[in-house]
Structure 1
Amino acid sequence: MLVVVGLVGYLTGRRFPHPGAWIGRRREALVRVAGPWRRWSRPLLVAGAVIATAPVWPMVQPGDPIADEMLEPAEVAVLVPVVLTFPVAWALLGRSRPHAWRIGAGLVAWVAAWAVWTVVFGSWSTPPNIDDGLRWHLIGAAAIVAAGAWGRQPLTRRWLAGTVIGAIGVAVVFAIPVAGGPPMPARDAIPLPATATVIHEETGCGWNSCYRRLTVTGIDEAGMHELARRSGCRRIGWLNPYELCLDLRRNEPASTVGVQVTYYNGRDRVVFMGPASIGPHDRLDQWDPRGR
């Protein structure tokens, strides 16, 4: 076919049309059309990453199978900016890089994968895996950005800003707690008054909690008031469902005080009942920090 076209061109006195020139003209036309959009490439990347997090938004999250495993609005307000760290970093680092839009599209897809995984497979049960999913997502996003930004680059303000934001994302990877089963509370998790003497101690674990129970004597009214002020449950870390709970019991006839410190997973609402199952708080009886 090419020989025929060339022969016709020779007989008519015309040159054989060069394919490269035709492709070059079409490419220049596409560049002229896409030129105005290049200035919007960075905000479009960030906007696409924001939209990709939609599955975890409170108004979008499904309530099934367990509504209590949904992310709370405050958690979404923290997690979404963290997940957007590397798309924002690449928007600053990758403007002049080859194939920048492909890497940006890959980051958006990676964010969408995290959001879908969190909604479908993420769980606050014991042990939780929400923190593991976020950690591996950030590691993968850091690898994508590092691979795209590899090589020499002039030190511009945009490049420095992207590097700082990427470094923040890497630091977050190490800040995410490694949450497994409930830890055993240390004896000094709640400091006792200096006059207190421990006369009995026991430890144990239930389905979603571990406790240390102390029988203490020698606590005066001021020490009892200080312990009572610390009673209740409080969160102990970011993305960590376990809470540190303190419960007190005064034993009037023996003039002793029962002190129980518990690491309790307040977000684990699933209890599997069966002949061989273990209850959520075996041996805790009335010591359950949430009255379950």
Structure 2
Amino acid sequence: MDTLLGVLVLLVVALLGYVTGRRFPHPGGWISGRRGRFRAAVVRPPGPWRWRSRLLFVVGALAATAPVWPIVQPGDPVADELLEPAEVAVIVPVVLVFPVAWALLGRSRPFAWRVAVVVAACVAGWSLWTVMSGSYGTPPTIDDGLRWYLVGTGVVVGSATAVESWRRPRELPTTRRVAGALVWTIGVAAAVAVPVVGDERLPPRDAILPLPPATTVVQEEARCALPENFGFGPRTCFRQFTVAATDAADVRELARRLGDHLRRAKGWPATGYDASTAGFPCRRTGWLNPYELCLELRSDESTGTVTLRLAYYNGRDRVIY
């Protein structure tokens, strides 16, 4: 009897195992099937780069600029020399020019995705470098970092486009690729247009000289590396003239003569003028040059002279007082 019960139990267990095996395959096979389906869904075979993938790449590049966004930057943008909201609104679109160009120029996966990952990594590298090491005062500056990024990503996108064109020489250009080439050209122009913050140079003498009649220069000084209390920043170069009258005019009349001379003969419109001082708006020295030429007039009652000071000033160099 015991033998019969043992046989029955064995048969039941075998039947259950057979039925279970048919309804629920072996775990290894189940895992293998799931992995195969996942691989087929995620790792697509070679083919055209779809528009959804292109859009996803551009969105990812935009997300890579997040470290420079005002809501993410730590602290006060002025004190920490970080980007202000208006600057972010201008620089971020410039940074995205080459990612957009590749989204239009890329043709087939997986090559297009590999290049996209490299470009997105360049965007992330630019963002992190800008918030951690960028400044406007001493090179390498934010402008330098932006220029290096544009040059690097421009070379990557241009080279990748050339490789794909070499692999498929018979394909005719499409509207999308023409638009991508145009965007790439805009990126190259942006790289060339980024201001170069180099060393300052001494201001020219002819911005003030020659002086009007009945005045003379009694002292001239020109040097760089100003003290902080000059108000133009420690790296500024300046030229200073101490002027006296050659007739009996007092210091107020001398200041008036010089102010009229600077406004009429040299084109320096005064923004504020009195007997002791005059302020003049700084002049741009070129649209690709961030430095401006600034002028200040101060009278000295004790010596009866007027001081005219010229200085180059990087208007985007934030001086923290």
The question of a shared fold, defined as TM-score above 0.5 by the shorter chain, is answered with yes
> Does the aligned pair in 1 maintain the 2:193–2:288 contact within 8 Å?
no
Name the counterpart of 1:281: none
Are residues 198 and 61 of structure 1, via their aligned partners in 2, closer, same or farther at CA, if it must alter by over 3 Å? farther
Name the counterpart of 1:203: 222
Name the counterpart of 1:19: none
Name the counterpart of 1:60: 72
From 149, 160, 171, the counterpart of 2:178: 160
Name the counterpart of 2:280: 231
> Does the aligned pair in 2 maintain the 1:93–1:163 contact within 8 Å?
yes
From 87, 96, 104, the counterpart of 1:75: 87
Instruction: Using the TM superposition, name which of 164-173 and 208-217 deviates more.
Output: 208-217
Instruction: Using the TM superposition, name which of 133-142 and 245-254 deviates more.
Output: 245-254
Read off the aligned partner of 1:244 and give its amino acid letter.
L
Structure 2 distance, partners of 1:74, 1:65, is 12
Offset at residue 224 of structure 1 (A): 5.2
Are residues 31 and 132 of structure 1, via their aligned partners in 2, closer, same or farther at CA, if it must alter by over 3 Å? closer
Offset at residue 58 of structure 1 (A): 1.3
Read off the aligned partner of 1:106 and give its amino acid letter.
V
Offset at residue 139 of structure 1 (A): 1.0
Offset at residue 221 of structure 1 (A): 5.8
Instruction: Using the TM superposition, name which of 214-223 and 135-144 deviates more.
Output: 214-223
TM-superposition CA deviations, 1:150-193 (whole Å, max 9, x none): 024522221111111111111122212221333322234x4668
Superposition RMSD in Å: 3.8
TM-superposition CA deviations, 1:5-62 (whole Å, max 9, x none): xxxxxxxxxxxxxxxxx9xx97995489899x93312221111111100001111112
Structure 2 distance, partners of 1:147, 1:104, is 13
Are residues 237 and 95 of structure 1, via their aligned partners in 2, closer, same or farther at CA, if it must alter by over 3 Å? farther
Read off the aligned partner of 2:203 and give its amino acid letter.
P
The 5 A counterparts of 1:144-159 are 144-150=156-162, 151=165, 152=169, 154-159=172-177
Name the counterpart of 1:16: none
Structure 1 distance, partners of 2:261, 2:304, is 14
Q: Percent identity at matched positions?
A: 52
Are residues 240 and 56 of structure 1, via their aligned partners in 2, closer, same or farther at CA, if it must alter by over 3 Å? farther
Structure 2 distance, partners of 1:157, 1:143, is 22
Question: Please, what TM-score do these two structures have when normalized by structure 2?
Answer: 0.64
Are residues 128 and 149 of structure 1, via their aligned partners in 2, closer, same or farther at CA, if it must alter by over 3 Å? closer
Are residues 71 and 234 of structure 1, via their aligned partners in 2, closer, same or farther at CA, if it must alter by over 3 Å? farther
Read off the aligned partner of 1:94 and give its amino acid letter.
G
TM-superposition CA deviations, 1:80-104 (whole Å, max 9, x none): 1111010011111113476111111
> Does the aligned pair in 2 maintain the 1:45–1:104 contact within 8 Å?
yes
Structure 2 distance, partners of 1:209, 1:154, is 55
Give 1 or 2 for the bigger CA radius of gyration: 2
The 5 A counterparts of 1:239-258 are 242-251=291-300, 257-258=306-307
Offset at residue 246 of structure 1 (A): 1.6
> Does the aligned pair in 2 maintain the 1:131–1:239 contact within 8 Å?
no
Corresponding pairs, count: 246
Question: Please, what TM-score do these two structures have when normalized by structure 1?
Answer: 0.69
Q: Secondary structure at the match of 2:89?
A: helix
